[in-house]
Structure 1
């Protein structure tokens, strides 16, 4: 089937990752405006969006007809997204789940365009899932060391945008109220103020003490890097809108020189070594920043380093656009 005849359908215009994805699709000329469909639950919920100097209307999800030649990207979760997934798969379209609608379904192939692009050809269904932004970043940072790693402990400082657009809007409102000397309203679902705060957990812990996001991070990393690496994870939420940073404690199978570890990271695909990575420095970029590499004072086989990236552009929009390109071109 010719690439010219293919269409891309984005479900969820009111999503924090929507604009970054639209920007990457346009920058890389992956599709033309005439190939693009934008869907929301109700027609008229969102204004037309500008893409490649053309206005693209936002159509009704309920009225839309899915076709086999389409690639459908789910940027939202919930009942309407689940219904869209079922309808698109029944129609024979490819579906990319970027919003955890298929979490826990092992029949859905988890795809990272750098780590396992060949899995597209081996997919059991025409439904794919993208790893969460934190897992995508950490997996890329660990990839150059994968064969030498025995265990990894991840401490991920995620931004508020990882919780969704509503959380971004809530923190913006809280910040404005506090600057005006007013008490900030707290979202009862989170239970803590987002503005000027650093949360040990943005969701209720399970009996084990972990939360679902932490277990999901571990699960995605195991699927991408293999079960042979022991893993644990902690996810904090920092009071920043965008940009994530992880502290990684990596236990190697054998003792290795710090210079060799540094060389492996420097040669890693889409990695950039920097003295002191920061999430602010990473925002807007297409690389994962790694740095502060040091040998542990507790264990000579352990190395600690940081990784930072733009969670929306780098780890969702770019990865999603690359998978879309592969599907439109080859599948």
Structure 2
């Protein structure tokens, strides 16, 4: 079967990542309108979507028949996402999980198209997972230092869009109410106001003091960097819609000169040096911004720097589109 005869099925039109993914797929001509199928749950009431000047209907997920020639991208989590995953895998389709349905499952290969796309050929199952957006960005930034890397500590400032479209809508509504002198309604699932706020954790804490997203970030980084690299992570939520920034502390195996580190980062794939990286500067771009490289005052083997990227467009949509292209073409 030729590449043009295969279908791309996207599950989850209501996801915050859906619009950026559709834009990237169209701009890069990964698939034609005839190859694209869109699905969502029966109660979603999703309207048809425009792709390459064609109107694409949104079919009902519960009634859809998956097939072996399809590549299925999951942007929907929860019970519906897990059911779609099981049905698509049972049908023999390739599945790319971008919604944490396979979180913590070591039988599923975590794939970053820039770092380990060759692992697709040896995947245990026809199910792959995108790394969490923060993990994709940090692993990309650390890749030039991998040979000397001993440990890494990440403080990720994630935007509200990392929590999903409902959180984006909630923060927009809270902002509007506050500008009108009204009290902002608080989502009980988060327990705090999103607008004009900064959260130490947007999720319930585990016994260790971490939350599940932090452990998922650690898990994905270790899968991408290797088990020999010690990893710890903290995720705060900043009151911005899009764009993420991480403070990264990299512990090297031996003393290393800053000019050498900067040279390695400057030559890293999809990295762009910036004196003072910001999340806003990164939004809409296709590179990870890296800057503020400095030696730790506590440890001569530790190098600190900042990384910023567009969490939806770059770290989810572009990475997803590249993996989809590989699956349609080679697998």
Q: What's the TM-score, normalizing by structure 1?
A: 0.99
Distance 1:224 1:11 in 2: 26
For structure 2, the 5+ residue unaligned runs are none
Distance 2:85 2:302 in 1: 43
Q: Which residue of 2 aligns with 1:52?
A: 52
Q: Which runs of 4+ in 1 moved over 4 A?
A: none
Q: Which residue of 2 aligns with 1:25?
A: 25
Q: Deviations over 1:156-192 (max 9, x none)?
A: 0000000111110110000000000000001111100
- How many aligned positions are there? 331
CA apart distance, 1:59? 0.7
Distance 2:279 2:250 in 1: 21
Q: Which residue of 1 aligns with 2:128?
A: 128
Secondary structure (helix, strand or coil) at the match of 1:62 reads: helix
Distance 2:149 2:106 in 1: 25
Q: Which residue of 1 aligns with 2:329?
A: 329
Q: Which residue of 2 aligns with 1:272?
A: 272
CA apart distance, 1:43? 7.4
Q: Does 1:92 align with 2:92?
A: yes
CA apart distance, 1:268? 0.4
Q: What does 1:218-257 correspond to in 2, within 5 Å?
A: 218-257=218-257
Q: Does 1:210 align with 2:210?
A: yes
Q: Which residue of 2 aligns with 1:42?
A: 42
Q: Deviations over 1:242-270 (max 9, x none)?
A: 00000011111111110000000000000
Check conservation: 1:111, 1:131, Cα contact below 8 A: yes
Distance 1:82 1:207 in 2: 26
Q: Which residue of 2 aligns with 1:164?
A: 164
Distance 2:67 2:285 in 1: 34
Check conservation: 1:44, 1:59, Cα contact below 8 A: no
Q: Deviations over 1:122-158 (max 9, x none)?
A: 0111111111101000000011001111111100000
Q: Which residue of 2 aligns with 1:146?
A: 146
Distance 1:274 1:31 in 2: 34
Distance 2:183 2:233 in 1: 33
Check conservation: 1:154, 1:248, Cα contact below 8 A: yes
Distance 1:302 1:108 in 2: 32
Q: Which residue of 1 aligns with 2:176?
A: 176
Q: Does 1:68 align with 2:56?
A: no
Check conservation: 2:104, 2:219, Cα contact below 8 A: no
Distance 1:251 1:101 in 2: 32
Q: Deviations over 1:27-78 (max 9, x none)?
A: 1000000000000111771111110011111111111111111000000111
Distance 2:199 2:17 in 1: 22
Q: Deviations over 1:283-324 (max 9, x none)?
A: 000000000101112221111100000000000000000000
Check conservation: 1:272, 1:289, Cα contact below 8 A: yes
CA apart distance, 1:329? 0.3
Q: Which residue of 1 aligns with 2:312?
A: 312
Distance 1:235 1:133 in 2: 12
Check conservation: 1:175, 1:195, Cα contact below 8 A: yes
Check conservation: 1:252, 1:301, Cα contact below 8 A: yes
Secondary structure (helix, strand or coil) at the match of 1:293 reads: strand
For structure 1, the 5+ residue unaligned runs are none
Give the direction of change, closer, same or farther, for the CA distance of 1:138–1:3 in structure 2 (3 Å limit). Answer: same
Q: Which residue of 2 aligns with 1:300?
A: 300
Q: What's the TM-score, normalizing by structure 2?
A: 0.99
CA apart distance, 1:90? 1.1
